[in-house]
Structure 1
């Protein structure tokens, strides 16, 4: 009897998995790679610090020409709107050559002669006058008060409430600034101070005269009250 051998199952082939190594490429020293990255970072930091030092030098060092240029820009209104400029606006619009706000105020603070601050305040006085004029310009601007609205093919005039309200906001902001920047001139509560120079004898005479006037006024009021009382009593008697 012939024995037929059983068929054996096919052997399963084992797939070789490719292991991906993360990190430095094969043959690269990790230590040297980290060293190059560190050197690159340090060079970038050094370049940034050198650039910052140059900008800081421009902002801190005083220049009379630069100071006068800033004041000139402050006195010239905007070319499109004719509105006054602010110090922060002038400095921010010319960051490449003008100092920061802190550096500019430092110039004024370090000037012991007071000339820089005097010139700056003269320019600000001119800007205050521009604020005052701007209120009337906005108030008298009636060009866009009325707008035409189309309804059913017909254009009808309507009151432009948004434009009018915006003008009111601008005027209120200007008035608020004026009362804070120049309260003695544009404030709601004006104070009048008077100085009188007099000797001690003059002050005594004024005090005596005031006391005599007060006594005479009291006596006159007392006589008038007595006369009124007598007249009223006579009326009751006649009745």
Structure 2
């Protein structure tokens, strides 16, 4: 008896990780079936959480008027972000497609309740921010499950949290962590869109790996030193 998954199962996990994309375009109008949406939410709900506090909360948004209000908030925030760039970088930023709020048939706002009594503060005395980290784990669970189901997910971070609170009636003690666009898509990119557009490129793994302690030189040199 082994604790490992079978080879095909392992390959599927790594494939989902490698093929996951932040989707901003190409959403199809068909809404996700309720049972599929529930599977994705269940995957998020099963994520690891500090002290088993399960701080994540979910708002599924179908209503067009609400999505239009969120989209208007995005446009305001995006205009402010655009002003922070100059020259060619400003032109490049203006050309990017950064959301699919109205194109996607449903949106999902994922929140965290960092003040929850669940878990009895275990693990939060020294690092209270782990409540938020736990919700980020939930987001990643949902994202990978969605990719395996052929569902596109786009994370919209260009939003004023205060405005989002107002639109979605989010209580003051609850923290909005992610606003996601969900839906079937016509295709998934073979590489991240920001890499394809030339905005940024991935760095190699060795450049960020350190051993025993953090070194100021890049991780690739540290890795070479370790293997020497």
Which has the larger strand fraction?
A: 2
Is the radius of gyration larger for structure 1 or structure 2?
Answer: 1
Query: What TM-score does the superposition give when structure 2 sets the normalisation length?
Result: 0.19
Query: What TM-score does the superposition give when structure 1 sets the normalisation length?
Result: 0.18
Which has the larger helix fraction?
A: 1
Structure having greater relative contact order (Cα 8 Å, sep ≥ 6): 2
